[in-house]
Structure 1
Amino acid sequence: MMQTTAEKTSGFNLRYLLLYIPSLISLALAGDAVTSYFAAWSGSFLIFYLSFTNKIKDTHKGVPLAEKIFRPVFLTQLIFAGYMSCSSVFYFLNLLGYEYFTRVPYKVMDPYEVSLAASCQRYYLLGHAAMVHGMLFFYSSSITSKYKVNITNWPSFFIKFSVVATPIAFVCARIGGLSQLSEAIGGTTFVASTIALALSIPLKKTSLTILAGIIFISNLLQALTSGYKEPVIVSFLMLGLFLYPFYKKLILTIFVPLMLLLFTVLPTYVNTFRAQSRGEGDDPEAAKEEAIKKVQESL
């Protein structure tokens, strides 16, 4: 899209204001919490559209979608807004008395909780708009990398990284103040194993794929006893995104429903797991089994 002479001179693009229109609309509707929430929630999808289709600023022009998805405007936005902003709808529907899109009879709706959720969603939307504004404003296609990574076997590299990082995370978890570092290393290990698996499959390297798969499943089982849903969702999201350029139709057929399923059932799983873990004498494995049972009953 062409900029006016004034915009080029000032460095400001008036189209950035389009990103904030959904926030203004949702704020204007604040008197009705439900309407305001859905205005804010749907506003994030408008921001996706504006930024992905170059309506605000041309980015990666002429680059196929399969090659764009790991750029910050796409991947960072999908993880931050797609997960943090858009997945809140399941919680909000629960507040309205729905469970898995089915109205629960006699479930009392708390207007105060609904109002708070709507307010939070408006902040989510404003944060989403500001983040995209910043990414687009500072984007430049003229920046080239000064360095080149000399790695010829990426799947092997990520597998080795996972193998080395796993015991480090284990040791840190048992050293007082380093326990927080353990969580970060563990999350990085999970992501590394996901990338290793995703890169091994298209290369059709059986041994690497099996090894990466074992590490991925091991990390997945460990993540299910962490009490957090983010590592599971982000890892499956990255697995699908990495495989998308190679298996477009298959990924759209399998991973889109899978992600919707995860967004639906993981909150129930995590809430049950945390509740069971607080019980005296309940170990993580027992809490996991109870959480899985709860999910099965809910489906």
Structure 2
Amino acid sequence: MRYGLLFLPYVLAALLQESPTTSYLVAWGGSFWILWLTLSGTVKPLPGGRSLARQLFRPVGLTQFMFAGYTALTSIFYVLDLQGYFYLSHDPFQVASTSELALAAEAQRYYVLAHAAFSAGVLALMSYRRSGEWQFRTGVSRPWFILYLAGGLFCGSLVVSWIPGLGQIQGRFTTLAFVASVLSLAVSIVQGRRTLIVANVGIYGVNLLQAFLSGWKSEVIVAFLLLAIFLYPWYKRTMTVLAPAVLLLLFAILPTYASIVRSMSWRGDVQAEKAAEVAFDRVLSDKTPMAEINWRFMTSRLSEIGMFTDYIEHVPEKRPYYGFQLVEHGAMGIVPRAVWPGKPNMERLAMERVYEAGVVEEYSAVSAKPKFVVDAYLSGGAFGVFLGGLLYGMLASLASRLAERWFGGYLLGSGLVYTALFKVFWLSNAFEFFFNTVFWSFMVMGALFVAGRMTGYLVRASQEKPVAA
């Protein structure tokens, strides 16, 4: 009965589908209802009776926030745009047709259904009784150990990058090294280790600079977000005020900044450093139409509901559901090309349904691959979304449980290993790439556990020697 409460918004929104705006608002608000049910422990108590601050890196916390935020909650800007709004100003002559509003409401119902199914899957397997069964045995303090670990993983990524066919592993080592460096900074701040703080701030600054030079908005946001969440349990008031302020500032400048960097560095011959300098100058000037760029970003990039409506309009009216075809594509994606030289081009497979639905033109250079919820819908409608969301949540919970069991508990397990290896659960991906990423993340996690056991760094909790303070 309690799990049924998660699906109440979807049922109510479906009953109100004759009134698109009302149906949308019920479905959109339903995600807040689901967040409250899961985070308050109403459906299932949080593990160990611990506060939410000590659960954030588990799937019920950050993963759910990111998944729900990107799919279900940020769609409000797209719908406001359909209603004729530009920020707080309203133009009644710009209101979209009833059919467009109905499509947006239908897409939102699938989003809240996916959120409910995801939450049910997470809660169903949310058991951490064996958390910390294996611990790290080391003679150095925890922040130093994490910093050494970050350095070792970074060096490992450099070595692996020279071996053909191991790009997946190299990418995961790089992400693990980055998250470990942020964690080391947070722990050194909490413990007041001045030498470590200086060293880690230097590393963090280099990573942040690279994120700005890359032109990827997400890389910059993740760098700030991870540090804020790591520090939150010890500095709740400061992070509650500072983190939202910094994120709002980033969302205000990054769309304009990133678009300039990409146009100059990605598509031109300007060096990244020069492109970044020009981008900052334009952001600070009064000549750049930041309001229009940011609104366009919030309505068409921050959420993908606009593309989802194109798929809903196309399937199943003009084309039947894909059934297991996309699942088969995902299974093919798992096989390394070194093992299967004739493996189809996964990017091309994923883009075929994009072109078929008319989301983008085939001659366009834009990559607009569908995300997991869209592929679940294309596979089997509402039932596909329900089943896909349920398995999605269960996989996330399983990954977090194993990480905590094998790698010393919450902080190093969910905070480091799960967060770094399974970041794909935040925003998802097309089936062709999602299955591949999740499968090989499990493989890398298992290999790291075996390596830790063989080298003696991982021992059962009863054999652990106390870590230096």
Scaled by the length of structure 2, the TM-score of the pair is 0.52
Structure 2 partner of 1:7: none
Match of 1:202 among 165, 183, 190: 190
Q: Deviations over 1:207-230 (max 9, x none)?
A: 111111111121112122334333
Query: Retained in 1: the 8 A contact 2:39–2:52?
Result: no
1: CA distance, partners of 2:225 / 2:100: 30
Range with bigger deviation, 51-60 or 38-47: 38-47
Following TM superposition, by how much is the alpha carbon of 1:115 offset from its aligned partner in structure 2, in angstroms?
6.4
Range with bigger deviation, 108-117 or 24-33: 108-117
Are residues 1:244 and 2:227 paired?
Answer: no
Q: Which residues in structure 2 correspond to 1:275-286 (within 5 Å)?
A: 275-286=263-274
Larger radius of gyration: 2
Structure 1 partner of 2:110: 123
Structure 2 residues not aligned, in runs of 5+: 292-469
Are residues 1:41 and 2:33 paired?
Answer: no
Match of 1:230 among 211, 218, 224: 218
Query: Retained in 2: the 8 A contact 1:87–1:263?
Result: no
Are residues 1:56 and 2:40 paired?
Answer: no
User: RMSD of the alignment, in Å?
Assistant: 3.5
CA 1:34–1:106: 2 relative to 1, 3 Å: closer
* Secondary structure of the structure 1 residue equivalent to 2:135: coil
Aligned length in residues: 285
Q: Deviations over 1:67-102 (max 9, x none)?
A: 333333223322332455434445555666656x35
Are residues 1:165 and 2:153 paired?
Answer: yes
Structure 2 partner of 1:72: 59
Query: Retained in 1: the 8 A contact 2:7–2:116?
Result: yes
Scaled by the length of structure 1, the TM-score of the pair is 0.76
Give the % identical residues: 37
Are residues 1:191 and 2:176 paired?
Answer: no
Q: Give the counterpart letter for 2:224 in structure 1.
A: F
* Secondary structure of the structure 1 residue equivalent to 2:59: coil
Query: Retained in 1: the 8 A contact 2:52–2:61?
Result: no
2: CA distance, partners of 1:105 / 1:229: 30
2: CA distance, partners of 1:224 / 1:209: 22
Structure 2 partner of 1:18: 5
Following TM superposition, by how much is the alpha carbon of 1:144 offset from its aligned partner in structure 2, in angstroms?
4.9
Structure 2 partner of 1:154: 142
2: CA distance, partners of 1:115 / 1:286: 46
* Secondary structure of the structure 2 residue equivalent to 1:69: coil
Following TM superposition, by how much is the alpha carbon of 1:39 offset from its aligned partner in structure 2, in angstroms?
3.4
CA 1:35–1:78: 2 relative to 1, 3 Å: same
Query: Retained in 1: the 8 A contact 2:84–2:96?
Result: no
2: CA distance, partners of 1:123 / 1:293: 42
1: CA distance, partners of 2:265 / 2:18: 39
Are residues 1:288 and 2:276 paired?
Answer: yes
Query: Retained in 2: the 8 A contact 1:79–1:234?
Result: no
